[in-house]
A and B are shown apart, each in its own frame.
Chain A
């Protein structure tokens, strides 16, 4: 779900278009946008505080016997619907492996790659204060 929620709407649409037809879906809860309070803790163990509110769109879709839920950041209704549809399809034992190979794993790999690139860029400008303090 995290992979689907992080993927862009265009990526999800591309992957869905390449898939064989999914069974008929029924919308249980049409995409709706709301706010959730994001809470944080200073240093990971301080007192909880409210960091701020974040726009979230949620959707629930039933595909056969399975119910897919999606909570995605932002206001993209189409993306929430696609993520919920995929979440429901992934619960289906027959579809699960094929979907993991066709959708989730490539997206996860792309996200991992983007994150590593970002980390490399950041690492190139890192200053090691310990080294500086001991330099002559």
Chain B
């Protein structure tokens, strides 16, 4: 039996603070934000990805993940989110290993683009001020972001995702307690 660990220490305040951080990350694409909440999620889940899911996922958001049974049990207990094997049915997808292709995720419809899924991608490291050049809404000139351990061909897949706008998939990049967002409106150029 796996050892279940606690979630947020102060569920309401920590979830609100983390939500605020994710909102900030989404409104300034590519800018690194830091999750303040102290949590000890089961391996291989990192703090930022765990906080994002605890804040966002609930009983109405089917969740797909590749992080193993311990993480699935932890998220089921603390979020009550139904775990789905069908990635196209998921509202949130958590990728700790090989990232699923963006095309596999639900992109929403033209009438309801908000139904597009959010991919929470756990990567090896995030560094600002080098790497990709991001432009788009929320960015005055350009933001730089280097993603260590980004999936192969990610920028090409992202370009295809971007053309679907207003439909599409949003991505939250998590490493340790750092989080950066790639909303579907952003354009990525290799730096």
Contact = CB atoms under 8 A, between A and B. Distances in A.
Interface residues of A, number: 10
Contact of B6 (A29, A32, A65): A29
Contacts of B5: 26, 28
A67 B11 contact: no
B11 A62 contact: no
Contact of B11 (A26, A32, A65): A32
A27 B6 contact: yes
Q: Chain B's interface: helix, strand, loop or mixed, by majority?
A: loop
Contact of A26 (B6, B77, B78): B6
A28 B77 CA distance: 9
Q: Chain A's interface: helix, strand, loop or mixed, by majority?
A: strand
B1 A65 contact: yes
B: interface residue count bin: under 10
B11 A28 contact: no
B116 to A, nearest CB: 30
A62 B77 CA distance: 13
A110 interface: no
A32 B7 CA distance: 13
A30 B6 CA distance: 9
Contact of B78 (A29, A62, A65, A67): A29
B174 to A, nearest CB: 23
A35 to B, nearest CB: 15
A29 B3 contact: no
B4 interface: yes
Interface string B150-162: 0000000000000
Nearest to A65: B1
A28 B3 CA distance: 11
Contacts of B77: 28-29, 60
Interface core residue of B1, B4, B11 (most chain A CB under 10 Å): B4
